[in-house]
Structure 1
Amino acid sequence: CSSIGKVTMLESFSSVVRVAVETSESQVEVELVPAVEIPTCWPEKAQWPCYLKRWPSQEKVQCIKSLGFDLLARSNYHWHLCFSRAKLMEGPNKDGGCHVKCFRVMRQMKEDAWCAGNKPVITVYHLQTVLFWMCEKYPRTKDWRCFPEAFLRLVQKLHKCVSQRFLKHYFVKNTSLLKHANTSDLDLVASKLAVFLENPIFCLE
C-alpha cells in the first residue's frame, strides 16, 4: 500500500480542481468535483428502462434504482446526474461471457493509444456506456463467448459514436454524453479507431 505525501493544486477550472498527489511509488493526478449523494431515490428524468428487456434483469434494475444517484457540479450554477454507483457489470462473467475482459482491454487501449492524457475527450464512463448499450443489444451469453468478436463489436460501436459525435446516455433519454466534447479531439480519436479497425489483429492475438 502506497503512503500519501504532498498534495499540489495544478489548476482550477469551473467547478473542477485538479491536484497532484505524491505517493511513495509515483505521482498521481486527480480531479476533484463537488458532489451531492442522493441515496434510495431515483430521478424522474431518468426514465430507465424504457421497456422490458433481456438485459439487465428486472432484479438488477430494482437493485440499481434502490442505490440512488449523485449530483455532480458541472459549473458554478449547474449540476448533472451521475450514476456511477449503478454497477451493471458486477458479476457478468459468471455465465462464461467476456464482458469485463473486453472492457478492460478497451480501457487500456484508450489510455495507451486512442485517447491518452490528463483530460481525455473519451473517458472511462464513455466506454462503460458503450458497453451497456452493447450488452443490451446482445443479451445472450453466446454473444460474449468469443473475445475477438465481442471486442471488435465494442470498438466499432465506439468508433461510430465518436465519428457521429453522439453517444446516447444510457439512463437519461435525449441526452448525448459527447454534446460538449471538443470536435477536433473527437475527430482525432475517430481516426485512430479507424486505423485500429483496419488491422486489429495485433491486439487480439
Structure 2
Amino acid sequence: MAGQVPLWHHYVQAIRSREASRVQDFQRAEDTLLTLLEHVHALDARFLVDYSHHLEAFQFALRSSEGPLDMQVPLRVDADTLQIEELGASEPGAGPLLCRLGIPREVPGLEPWMAEDVFSASSECDAKCCGYIVPSKVLGVLKDLLVAAMVHCKHHGLIAPGSLSAASLQEEQLQLSLLVSSGWRKIRFNIVPVLRRKCGVPGLEGARFTPGFPEGTLRRIVSHGVDLVPTSAQHWRVCTSYLLTRLLGELGALRGHRLDSLSLLDRVNHERWRDGGREPGLTFDHLKTVLLWACSLFPAPEDWTELQGAVYRVLVVLLCCLASRTLPHFLQAGRDLLQGGSLDLGTIYQHVEGFARQPEAALRIHATHLGRSPPPRTGHRVRALLQLPASDPAYWATAYFDVLLDKIFTVQDKDRVAAMQRIFWKTKSLDSMDS
C-alpha cells in the first residue's frame, strides 16, 4: 500500500489546485446576484439581502460536481411574532417537518405580510391566526421582483450583458432558478425565500450530540435554529442546510484529511460513477452527510491523519448505507436521505464497491499513472457484514465499522480491538461464507 500513497496524494493535489479558481468563480457569480437582490430589496423591503456567503464559497470550492446552489433571501419578519403551526412530516420517517406561518390577531408590525399578494385569510372565526403567509404567493412576488430588477440592472449597466439567464423563471415550480455566468463557467442558483427561526427549533429535539467534533460544537450550532423554506403551495418545511454547512466548516478547522476525503469521493462520484454528471446518482449533500457520520463514528484524530485511511473510513459508512438502503439525516432523527427519490441504489452500490476494491483506475489522472493494480481489498465477508445494520440498528456503532475497516487496515487501539472482538462473535457465522 505504501507504493500507492503518492497516487492518492497526487489526485488530491489536482483537486486542490482548482479550489482558488472555483472560489473566484463563485464570488463573481455572487456579486452579480447580490447586485440583483439589492434592487429587489429596493423595490420591496419585505425581502432582505444576505451578504454572509463565505461558507457557501468554501463548500463550492470543495466540490467537483456542478449541482445548483441555494441563494437564500431572508424575509423581513420576526419569527417570534408569528404563529408557527407544525404539521408533522410529509411522510412518516421520510420527509422534513412541515408547518404553516400564521399571522396572529392584533399583533402590530405584521401589516406588510397581510397584503393580498402574500397572505391568505383564515376562514375559521375562532382561530388564533387571522390567516397565513402563503409560500406560493411569496414565490410569485419574488419572481416578479427578480424580473423587474433584472430589467433595471441591465438597462443601467449594473450587470454585464449575458451574465444572467432568467429562462428557468418561467417554469411553474416551487423554486426560482437563475443561471449566472462567471467567466467561462455557468453556475445555477436556486433563489429561496427563507424565514430564519432562532428559537424552538422544530424537528431537532432529537438531534444527536456526537463525538468527533470539538466539545460543544454541535449543540452550539444547532442552538442557532433553522430556516423555514417553501415546500408546497401552502406549506413550509424545516431546512438544515446551513447548519450542516457550518458543521462541515468546523471539520475544516481540524487537522487531518476529513475534507480531502470528501473532495476526492465527490470528484470520483462526478467523473466516474455519474459519468461527468450525465447520469443520476449521489449528490454532494449525500456525501457530506456520510462524512459527518464517519467523523462521528471514527472520532479519534489519528483516524484522519493518513489520506487513504480517511477515504476508506468514509467509504465503509457509504457502503453500509447503500447496502442497507438507508442514509440517516445527521440532525433529524428518523429521516432517510435515500428514500423518496429515484436513485438506483443497486447500481450506485456496485460503483462504490468497485472503487473500494480497486481504486487505482479511478485515481489515475493521466497516462503516466498507469500501472499494475493490487489485488481487490474486499471480499464476500465484507459484503455480508454490510447488510447487518438493516436488521439490527445496534450495529450502527464505532466497533461495527472498525470490523469493516479492519478488513482493509489494521486497527491498533486496544479498547477498540476489544469492542471489535465482542461484535465479531455476533457475526462469526459469516466466516463460513469465505470457506
Q: Structure 1 length as normaliser, TM-score?
A: 0.81
Aligned match for 2:194, one of 36, 39, 47: 36
Aligned match for 2:287, one of 122, 127, 131: 127
Amino acid at match of 1:38: R
Return the offset for 1:91: 4.4
Q: How does 1:47-62 map to 2 (within 5 A)?
A: 47-50=205-208, 53-62=210-219
Cα separation, 2, equivalents of 1:168 and 1:91 = 20
Aligned match for 2:357, one of 176, 180, 198: 198
Aligned match for 2:256, one of 97, 103, 123: 97
Aligned match for 1:162, one of 315, 319, 322: 322
Residue number in structure 2 paired with 1:188: 347
Which is worse superposed, 142-151 or 70-79? Answer: 70-79
Amino acid at match of 2:266: R
Cα separation, 2, equivalents of 1:96 and 1:13 = 46
Distance 1:42 1:149, change over 3 A: farther
Residue number in structure 1 paired with 2:303: 143
Residue number in structure 1 paired with 2:181: 22
Cα separation, 2, equivalents of 1:162 and 1:20 = 33
Cα separation, 2, equivalents of 1:125 and 1:154 = 14
Q: In the alignment, is residue 68 of structure 1 matched against residue 228 of structure 2?
A: no
Cα separation, 2, equivalents of 1:135 and 1:101 = 13
Return the offset for 1:170: 0.8
Cα separation, 2, equivalents of 1:156 and 1:134 = 9
Residue number in structure 1 paired with 2:388: none
DSSP-derived class of the 1:109 partner: helix
Residue number in structure 1 paired with 2:242: 85
Cα separation, 2, equivalents of 1:134 and 1:21 = 34
Mark the structure with the bigger radius of gyration.
2
Cα separation, 1, equivalents of 2:326 and 2:227 = 23
Cα separation, 2, equivalents of 1:76 and 1:121 = 28
Aligned match for 1:153, one of 297, 303, 313: 313
Which is worse superposed, 72-81 or 83-92? Answer: 72-81
Amino acid at match of 1:70: D
Residue number in structure 1 paired with 2:56: none
Distance 1:71 1:97, change over 3 A: same
Cα separation, 2, equivalents of 1:6 and 1:95 = 38
Cα separation, 2, equivalents of 1:90 and 1:133 = 15
Cα separation, 1, equivalents of 2:164 and 2:202 = 42
Residue number in structure 1 paired with 2:336: 176
Cα separation, 1, equivalents of 2:201 and 2:327 = 21
Residue number in structure 2 paired with 1:9: 167
Amino acid at match of 2:165: V
Which is worse superposed, 5-14 or 142-151? Answer: 5-14
DSSP-derived class of the 1:150 partner: helix
Cα separation, 2, equivalents of 1:164 and 1:18 = 34
DSSP-derived class of the 2:334 partner: coil
DSSP-derived class of the 1:41 partner: coil
Which is worse superposed, 142-151 or 68-77? Answer: 68-77
DSSP-derived class of the 2:247 partner: coil
Cα separation, 2, equivalents of 1:132 and 1:187 = 23
Q: Which has the higher strand share?
A: 1
Amino acid at match of 2:297: K
Amino acid at match of 1:132: L
Residue number in structure 1 paired with 2:425: none
DSSP-derived class of the 1:21 partner: strand
Amino acid at match of 1:140: A
Q: Structure 2 length as normaliser, TM-score?
A: 0.41
Which is worse superposed, 2-11 or 147-156? Answer: 2-11
Q: Provide runs of 4+ in structure 1 moved above 4 Å.
A: 1-4
Which is worse superposed, 159-168 or 115-124? Answer: 115-124
DSSP-derived class of the 2:241 partner: coil
Cα separation, 2, equivalents of 1:45 and 1:192 = 34
Return the offset for 1:33: 5.3
Cα separation, 2, equivalents of 1:66 and 1:119 = 38
